């Protein structure tokens, strides 16, 4: 059966029309590359959040992720182009052994739960522990309660989730990948925080820019010609 998808045109979509940074799904050149990992139970909507943000698509028949998938999208911050590399990890325990390595060099982690399923919220602590075991201390964290289109079935209140996020020093937002509510806002918010955090850490007074990792010179995350850059850039990892 052919998968169904829904798309907004960005001309009539109320949420997209309010974005400070217009969507850019195809830009190849960029100044910085930031790796962000989506974490959480299976079925909470991580894959659809990824596809909604990077391709403006939603699949009604989305299958569970096996291993790890990733997609990219560029955003503009302070006159610079930041390419977000979003990694969607499997939420099923039997795949954890092959996904833990993908936290390496991540500068942001988004913990996703389903607002209609209490257990997915209760399990966020488990995903947080895993992330902290494999990321640096200054990694930027965000808590996302997905599926607000099903708010009539809500099992986790916004206030409880917000308190949990504040206690664990995370930002918090609720989204709906189905109707795109706050999806762009969530990703752009964490990317701006990442940019600010890393720039404050790595900004050099003598150069006025980011320092490159010792083992990184040119950004090239794919072997395809369209992804190869003609200029050097920084990698925020």
Percent of the residues in the chain that have a pLDDT greater than 90, as a whole number: 51
Contact predicate 125/143, CB 8 Å = no
Q: What is the mean pLDDT of residues 147-171?
A: 98
Q: Where are the domains of the chain?
A: 20-216+229-236
Instruction: Please determine, looking at this structure, whether the domain spanning 20-216+229-236 carries the CATH number 3.30.360.10.
Output: no
Rounded CA-CA distance 184/177 in Å is 10
pLDDT tier for residue 209 given thresholds of 50, 70 and 90: very low
- From CA 81, how far away is CA 107, in angstroms rounded? 17
Task: Mention every residue, 6+ apart, whose C-beta is less than 8 A from residue 68.
Answer: 87, 88, 89, 90, 98, 99, 102
**What's the mean pLDDT in 75-83?**
92
Q: Yes or no: say if 237 and 198 are a contact pair by the CB < 8 Å rule.
A: no
Question: The pTM is what?
Answer: 0.73
**For position 68, what pLDDT does the model report?**
67
Q: Is 69 helix (H, G, I), strand (E, B) or coil?
A: strand
Per-residue pLDDT at 4 exceeds 60: no
Is the pLDDT confidence value at 101 over 50? Answer: yes
- Whole-number Å distance between alpha carbons of 86 and 109: 9
Contacts of 202 (CB under 8 A, 6+ apart): 210, 211
Nearby residues of 195 by Cβ (< 8 Å), 6 or more positions away: 32, 34, 77, 78, 80, 82, 236
pLDDT in tens, 105-124: 899 999 999 999 999 999 99
Question: How much is the average pLDDT of 198-212?
Answer: 49
DSSP string, 104-169: TT-SEEEEEEETT-HHHHHTHHHHHHHHHHHS-TT-EEEEEEE-GGGGGG--S-HHHHHHHHHHTT
Dihedral of the CA atoms 194, 53, 177, 164 (nearest 10)? 0
């Amino acid at each position: 059966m052919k998968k169904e998808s829904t798309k907004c045109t960005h001309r009539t979509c109320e949420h997209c029309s309010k974005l400070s940074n217009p969507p850019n799904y195809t830009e190849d050149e960029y100044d910085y590359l930031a790796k962000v990992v989506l974490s959480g139970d299976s079925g909470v909507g991580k894959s659809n959040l990824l596809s909604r943000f990077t391709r403006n698509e939603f699949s009604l028949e989305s299958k569970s992720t096996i291993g790890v998938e990733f997609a990219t999208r560029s955003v503009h911050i302070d006159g610079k182009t930041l390419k977000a590399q979003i990694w969607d990890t499997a939420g099923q325990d039997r795949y954890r052994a092959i996904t833990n390595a993908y936290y390496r060099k991540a500068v942001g982690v988004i913990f996703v739960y389903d607002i209609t399923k209490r257990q997915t919220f209760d399990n966020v602590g488990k995903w947080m522990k895993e992330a902290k075991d494999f990321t640096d201390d200054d990694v930027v964290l965000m808590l996302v309660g997905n599926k607000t289109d099903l708010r009539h079935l809500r099992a986790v209140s916004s206030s409880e989730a917000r308190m949990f996020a504040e206690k664990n020093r995370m930002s918090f937002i609720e989204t709906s990948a189905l109707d795109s509510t706050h999806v762009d806002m969530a990703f752009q918010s964490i990317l701006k925080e990442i940019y600010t955090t890393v720039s404050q850490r790595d900004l050099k007074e003598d150069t006025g820019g980011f320092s490159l990792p010792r083992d990184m010179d040119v950004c090239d995350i794919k072997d395809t010609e369209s992804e190869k850059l003609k200029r050097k850039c920084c990698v925020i990892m």
